[in-house]
Amino acid sequence: MGIITVYFFYGLSFFSMGLAILLEVGRSSELDFARALRSLAGFGLVHGTHEWLEMFLLIFPQLQDLPFYRWVGTGRVVLLAISFMFLISFGARLVVGPKRTQLTWQMLGVIAIIWTLGLVWLFLTEPVEVRVVASDVYTRYSLAIPGAALTAWGLFLQRQKFLQAGMQGFGRDVIIAALAFGLYGGIGQLFASPSVVFPSDFLNAETFREWFGFRIQLFRSVMACVAAISIIRSLRAFEEENRRQIEGLRQAQSDERQRLSELREELLRQTVRAQELERQRIARELHDEVGQTLTALGMGMRAIADNASSHPDRVSRQAREMQNVVTGGLLGLQNLITGLHPPQLDDFGLVSALRWFGAQVKERVNLPVTVTSQGEEPNLSQEIRTVLYRIVQECLTNVIRHAKAERADVQITFADGEVRIRVEDNGCGFDLNAALNRHEYPCWGLHGMQERALLVGGECTIMSETGKGTLIEVVVPLEKETHEKN
């Protein structure tokens, strides 16, 4: 009864380990340990089944009288071999790494060929009555001992990776498992059943019992329990890894929110500064244009008043000069007003305003700008019209200043409840990540376009590569606009 209990706990240890691993292997992990665990799960389930089969045969010895029993021995050897091949696979994956799967399969192939050739030799040279026992012993020597050695080695290597990751507790678990597997293979499988296979003819389970006073199966069962408990405890490393990943994501999100907050604050400061500079520019232009015009008108009016009675012929000429001054002043004032907010945007819509601005760019800097549209322009709100116009204006301004382009294309599409604008040039392009993420002299124009799009619930996507031009796409949903129109 005692040996049956030993076999029960022996099989239970490895089978429980296999089940526990199966519940964990589905998790995403960066650890090499996780990628190799499927093989260890296979070993635990198959080897546990093998030991329970041994227990079952001890409980029901009368099965030896049945006709099919002669195949049971062969089945036990095959089951034993499969379990130890799983153990070899686990150890090999840990040693060579999960990415070198071809090398792992080559190792398994070589070991399987050696085991098969030795098994064939036994069947050809040994009597029928000793073949099963000899095959069992030979399988333990050729598969179990190398598999346990590889597993112990691989777990030692994995311990270093746990320590490097700051998981000292899990490093202790795998080192205990490594020692347990090493003893399980180096001692537990060395003292096999007595047979004709060297050295089991003199170093076997009976020798072990004479030396230590208890069965080798008990030693294997204890090592199996220690290895299983240590492996199951080490599976908690995945929870720790997931916790660290979650903390890392939270920290990254916090850092990103902080960075965006700092960008928005700086963008706000830049916006205020730009407003002040714009006010200064408007004041200067008003002084230069309107002020000079009014001064000239005042001087002309005084000249007319002085010459009205004494030199009537000069009055007509001075009046014409004043008319020219007024015309020039009105044109300058009109240009100033148009630069601040083009009346075409309110009077004729977004597409017309962009076509007008494209024509202005071509006239001023000789850059061909093609503006095309698809779909019927809906009744956009002033906010959306202004935001889209300013984004395109910023795009074309950047093309003029930096792109060294030969042309620029603006495409406006109204469809599927949204407005989509694409601005593309064939210029020199730029490194987008470097431009958006640099801390010194950030590209506030690019950030400003993205912020403007967000203000109206849209999205601004910037695509550029050095030497390949730039494409900027703005998409703004129009569900709200359509509802208001209806």
> Can you give the pLDDT at residue 276?
66
| End-to-end CA gap in the chain | 87
Q: Can you list the alpha helix ranges (DSSP code H) found in 341-381?
A: 343-347, 350-365
> Can you give the pLDDT at residue 36?
80
Query: Which CATH number does 343-485 carry?
Result: 3.30.565.10
Decide: 188 and 195 in contact? Cβ < 8 Å: no
Identity of residue 443 = C
Decide: 383 and 352 in contact? Cβ < 8 Å: no
Decide: 180 and 223 in contact? Cβ < 8 Å: yes
How many Cα atoms sit within 13 Å of 54 on the Cβ side? 21
Tokens 């070589």 belong to residue: 110
Beta strands in 159-313 (DSSP E): none
> Which of helix, strand or coil describes residue 462?
strand
CATH of 2-234, one of 1.10.287, 1.20.1070, 4.10.860, 2.10.25: 1.20.1070
> Can you give the pLDDT at residue 484?
44
Decide: 122 and 174 in contact? Cβ < 8 Å: no
Question: How far is Cα 305 from Cα 324, in angstroms, rounded to an integer?
Answer: 19
Per-domain residue ranges for the chain?
2-234, 254-339, 343-485
Three-state SS string over 406-443 comes to CCEEEEEEEECCEEEEEEEECCCCCCHHHHHHCCCCCC
Mean pLDDT for back-to-back runs of 10 residues, the chain (486 residues): 83 88 67 76 91 86 71 86 92 81 85 90 85 90 92 86 69 87 91 90 90 91 91 75 72 82 73 65 63 70 70 69 70 61 80 89 89 90 87 89 90 91 91 71 73 86 88 85 43
How many Cα atoms sit within 13 Å of 305 on the Cβ side? 6
- For residue 82, the cross-strand partners are none
**CB-count exposure of residue 146 (10 Å: 0-12, 13-18, 19+):** buried
Decide: 194 and 205 in contact? Cβ < 8 Å: yes
> Which of helix, strand or coil describes residue 68?
coil
Question: How far is Cα 448 from Cα 243, in angstroms, rounded to an integer?
Answer: 37
pTM of full prediction above 0.75:
no
> Can you give the pLDDT at residue 181?
92
